[in-house]
């Protein structure tokens, strides 16, 4: 016990030591381009151009357009180079490029070694500012995306997640699929993709995050010579719209061995301290699910509870794959109700703080993960929240966690994929309010 206490104090002390010696971060602007630069002594450099808006940026009929528009230049390179020469040049210096489009934002990324920073940035910047739009390369990539979208429909977990979002958020931008549907992707043209790129890759929707062992002056000069040429453009629509998850149930009958269940309910707005308390609460709930559903009853291999990263529609999710839907739902709902009436324990919370922060810092070990965290934090209230995260976790109290579950866990939208004869609507009874449970 003395050793455990000593380790706990050592852990907390090391966290505070890190907080007192935070790496230096610079925020500046280069001819209208916002830049966030964090110094790092590691031998790699990570750059990400974040694009704001996510699914707000396009109509349902064009879902997937942003995913193609941002990925294609990172595969084909700039107009001044062939695709083969671009990829050969990247391989020669060990540079890797990528792009990803989601519900709230997208990003175009570069990861490289410090030795070849100049050459890597040059390839990255040219691909962004002067992308090659070749019909043959677009056709090949679009066909790949169509095949991926069709494959997602056959994967139960992917299909369940898509169903949950499209049904729970029906009529909103969150009902769109960022990676596209087979129908929307097949209808896209190269002209539409290029037009979308020119609309969203602009100074008013984009900002650059760089983490690495370079000088601020060097980065400023590079941005001035490249990204500063991007058009000003229009600002992205606001992310937060204030809609809430409503109670509901959607069942899709499918003759499969295992049945899949997802429940979605409200969460606090991202970027707030309340959202950190919520993440801790869902993490403990996930531990309880694991103990009750897998360890004690063997009802599932991997039950889960977690908070999503969405800002426009902050959402919590609970999940299970099981051969016994009724027994699993009984346990899940009972565990949520227990939290509402009995709350979490101080032992659970203190143990979770250490585990949570350990996982958090392990996730920040690479410059690539840190650049992502800085960019997402900037979108959800300011990059400075990366440096105040530890303090917010350490000061969390049991009442803080109990409060978020009681406030946000009353209405759940359930999605079920599996044998329909195994479930009835009453199995998906909603967790009731704490005051009702105490009566």
Tally of structural domains, the chain? 2
For position 187, what pLDDT does the model report?
98
Give yes or no: residues 154 and 208 share one domain.
Answer: yes
For position 322, what pLDDT does the model report?
97
Point out the least confidently predicted range of 155-159, 361-365, 404-408: 361-365
Show the domain range for 72: 23-229
CATH code of the domain covering residue 43: 3.30.830.10
CA angle 347, 351, 354 (to 5 degrees): 150
Alpha-carbon distance of 389 to 396, in angstroms, equals 11
Task: Decide if 172 is inside a domain.
Answer: yes
**Mean pLDDT (whole number) for 415-428:** 96
Give yes or no: residues 151 and 267 share one domain.
Answer: no
Task: Decide if 376 is inside a domain.
Answer: yes
Alpha-carbon distance of 98 to 73, in angstroms, equals 9
Task: Decide if 356 is inside a domain.
Answer: yes
**What does the radius of gyration of the chain's CA atoms come to, in whole angstroms?**
23
Q: How confident is the model at residue 270 (pLDDT cuts 50, 70, 90)?
A: confident
Task: Decide if 235 is inside a domain.
Answer: no
Give yes or no: residues 369 and 414 share one domain.
Answer: yes
Give yes or no: residues 270 and 155 share one domain.
Answer: no
Pick the more confident residue, 255 or 310.
Answer: 255
Give yes or no: residues 211 and 123 share one domain.
Answer: yes
Give yes or no: residues 217 and 253 share one domain.
Answer: no
Task: Decide if 2 is inside a domain.
Answer: no
Task: Decide if 103 is inside a domain.
Answer: yes
Give yes or no: residues 263 and 359 share one domain.
Answer: yes
Task: Decide if 314 is inside a domain.
Answer: yes
438 pLDDT higher than 50: yes
Give yes or no: residues 423 and 277 share one domain.
Answer: yes
Task: Decide if 236 is inside a domain.
Answer: no
Give yes or no: residues 319 and 273 share one domain.
Answer: yes
Strand order in the sheet with 44-52: 25-30, 33-39, 206-212, 44-52, 105-113, 96-101
Q: Kindly state the tokens that stand for 229.
A: 């040429």
306-339 pLDDT, tens digit each: 998 777 778 999 999 999 999 999 999 999 999 9
């Amino acid at each position: 016990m003395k050793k455990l206490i000593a380790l706990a104090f050592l852990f907390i002390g090391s966290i505070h030591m890190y907080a007192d010696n935070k790496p230096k971060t610079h925020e500046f602007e280069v001819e209208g381009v916002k830049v966030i630069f964090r110094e790092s002594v590691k031998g790699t450099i990570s750059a990400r151009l974040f694009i704001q808006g996510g699914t707000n940026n396009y109509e349902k009929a064009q879902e997937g357009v942003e995913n193609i528009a941002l990925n294609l230049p990172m595969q084909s390179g700039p107009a001044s180079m062939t695709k083969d020469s671009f990829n050969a040049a990247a391989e020669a210096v060990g540079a890797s490029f990528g792009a990803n489009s989601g519900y709230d934002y997208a990003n175009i990324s570069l990861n490289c070694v410090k030795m070849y920073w100049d050459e890597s940035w040059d390839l990255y910047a040219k691909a962004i500012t002067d992308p090659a739009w070749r019909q043959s390369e677009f056709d090949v990539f679009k066909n790949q995306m169509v095949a991926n979208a069709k494959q997602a429909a056959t994967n139960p977990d992917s299909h369940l997640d898509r169903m949950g979002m499209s049904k729970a958020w029906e009529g909103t931008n969150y009902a769109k699929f960022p990676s596209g549907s087979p129908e929307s992707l097949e209808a896209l043209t190269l002209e539409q993709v290029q037009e979308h790129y020119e609309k969203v890759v602009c100074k008013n929707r984009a900002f650059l995050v760089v983490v690495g062992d370079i000088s601020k002056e060097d980065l400023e000069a590079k941005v001035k010579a490249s990204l500063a040429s991007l058009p000003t453009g229009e600002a992205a629509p606001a992310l937060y719209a204030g809609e809430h998850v409503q109670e509901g149930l959607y069942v899709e009958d499918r003759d499969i061995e295992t049945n899949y269940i997802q429940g979605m309910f409200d969460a606090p707005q991202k970027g707030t301290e309340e959202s950190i308390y919520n993440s801790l609460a869902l993490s403990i709930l996930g531990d309880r699910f694991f103990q009750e559903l897998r360890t004690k009853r063997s009802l599932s291999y991997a039950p889960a509870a977690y908070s999503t990263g969405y800002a426009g529609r902050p959402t919590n999710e609970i999940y299970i794959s099981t051969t016994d839907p009724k027994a699993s739902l009984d346990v899940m709902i009972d565990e949520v109700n227990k939290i509402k009436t009995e709350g979490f324990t101080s032992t659970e919370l203190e143990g979770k703080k250490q585990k949570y922060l350990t996982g958090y810092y392990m996730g920040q070990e690479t410059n690539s993960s840190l650049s992502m965290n800085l960019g997402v934090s900037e979108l959800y209230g300011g990059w400075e929240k990366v440096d105040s995260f530890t303090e917010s976790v350490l000061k969390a109290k049991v009442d803080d966690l109990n409060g978020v579950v009681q406030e946000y866990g009353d209405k759940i939208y359930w999605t079920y994929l599996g044998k329909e004869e195994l479930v009835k609507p009453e199995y998906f009874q909603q967790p009731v309010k704490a005051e009702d449970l105490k009566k």
